Structure 1
Amino acid sequence: MDDKAVRDRAAGEGDRESLVSEFLSVSAAFEDSEEIGAARDLARGFLTEVQSVHGLPVSGRAVGMVELVVSELVTNARKYAPGPSLLTLDVQGGAVEVSVWDSSTALPLILPPDPSRVGQHGLEIVMALCQSFAVHREPVGKRITAVIALTESPGWS
Structure 2
Amino acid sequence: MLKTRPEAGVMDVDETAGRPDRFGPGLVAASAVFQGSEKIADARRLARSFLDEAQALHGLQISARAVHVVMVVVSELVTNARAYAPGPYRLALELQDGCVEVSVGDSNPAPPAILPHDPLRIGQHGLEIIIALAKSFHIHQEAMGKRLTASILLSDRHWRPSDAD
On whether the aligned pair clears a TM of 0.5, the verdict is yes
Kindly tell me the number of residue pairs found equivalent between the two proteins: 141
* 1:93 equivalenced with 2:97 (yes/no): yes
Q: Is the 8 A contact 2:153 2:159 kept in 1?
A: no
Q: Is the 8 A contact 1:33 1:75 kept in 2?
A: no
What corresponds to 2:30 in structure 1? Answer: 26
User: Superposition pairs for residues 49-128 of structure 1, below 5 Å?
Assistant: 49-128=53-132
Q: How far, CA to CA, are the matches of 1:38 and 1:155 in structure 2? A: 28
Q: How far, CA to CA, are the matches of 1:154 and 1:130 in structure 2? A: 12
Relative contact order: is structure 1 or structure 2 higher (C-alpha 8 Å, sep ≥ 6)?
Answer: 1
What is the SS of the residue equivalent to 1:26? strand
How far residue 33 of structure 1 moved from its aligned partner, in angstroms, is 5.2
Query: Which structure has the greater CA radius of gyration?
Result: 1
Q: Is the 8 A contact 2:29 2:94 kept in 1?
A: yes
Superposition TM-score, scaled by structure 2 size: 0.80
Q: Is the 8 A contact 1:20 1:92 kept in 2?
A: no
Q: Aligned letter for 1:152?
A: D
Superposition TM-score, scaled by structure 1 size: 0.83
Give structure 1 stretches of 5+ with no counterpart: 1-9, 11-17
Q: Is the 8 A contact 1:19 1:54 kept in 2?
A: no
Q: Aligned letter for 1:120?
A: Q
What percent identity do the matched residue pairs reach?
55
Shift of the 82–54 alpha-carbon distance from structure 1 to 2, 3 Å rule, reads: same
2:46 pairs with one of 42, 47, 51: 42
Give structure 2 stretches of 5+ with no counterpart: 1-14, 16-20
Q: How far, CA to CA, are the matches of 1:28 and 1:93 in structure 2? A: 22
